[in-house]
Structure 1
Amino acid sequence: MNHERHVRLFRNGRNQAVRIPREFELPGEDAILRKEGDRLILEPVRKRSLLALLATLEPLDEDFPEIDDPPPEPVDL
C-alpha cells in the first residue's frame, strides 16, 4: 500500500528541511537518510541487539594464554 503526499520544502537555518506529515512519522529520535540517484530515502534507526552486533565482528586469530583461575576461598558468614 503506497501512500503519497505532496509536501513543501523549507529552510531551517542553512539546512533544507521537510515537515513530515503525521501519517508518515517515524518512531524514535533518530533516522537514517541516504541518497539513491535522485531519491532521498529516510528510514528509522533499528535497535540492534548485542548478538546482531557481535555477529558483524571479525573472529580473533590469536591464542590466549592459560590463566590460573582457582575457585574462590569459602567465606564463613
Structure 2
Amino acid sequence: MREAKLFRNNRSQAVRIPAEFEFSGSSVLIRKDGTRLIIEPQPKPNLTDLLKSFAPLDAEDEFPEDIDGTLLPLAPIDL
C-alpha cells in the first residue's frame, strides 16, 4: 500500500498514481464500492464484441470493388 497525491485538474479531482501501479492504455474503469474507489484496467475487446458493434449490412449494399475494379466475390466458392 502506498500513499497517492490528490490534485485538481480543471473541475475534476485527479489521483497521481505511483509508477509501480501504472496502467497501460489510455483509459480505465472506475467504480465506487461503499467508501472505496476501485480503478481497474479497461478490458481488451474480444472478436465477438467487435463483430457485435458493426452495423448490419443492408441487402442493397454492394460488395466493395477489388483493386482492379471488379466486384467481389468473383465466383461462388465450394468449401
**TM-score for both structures, normalised by structure 2:** 0.59
Other-structure match for 1:17? 14
What is the root-mean-square deviation of aligned Cα atoms in Å? 2.4
Other-structure match for 2:35? 38
* Structure having greater relative contact order (Cα 8 Å, sep ≥ 6): 1
Q: How many residues align?
A: 54
Q: Which of structures 1 and 2 has the bigger CA Rg?
A: 1
The gaps in structure 1 that reach 5 residues or longer are: 57-71
Q: 1:28 aligns with which of 25, 28, 45?
A: 25
Deviation sequence 1:21-54 (CA, Å, 0-9, x none):
1000011111101111110110111112123x28
Runs of 4+ in 1 over 2 A off after TM superposition: none
The gaps in structure 2 that reach 5 residues or longer are: 53-74
Identity of paired residues, percent? Answer: 51
TM-aligned CA deviation for residue 7 of structure 1: 1.4
TM-aligned CA deviation for residue 14 of structure 1: 0.7
**TM-score for both structures, normalised by structure 1:** 0.60
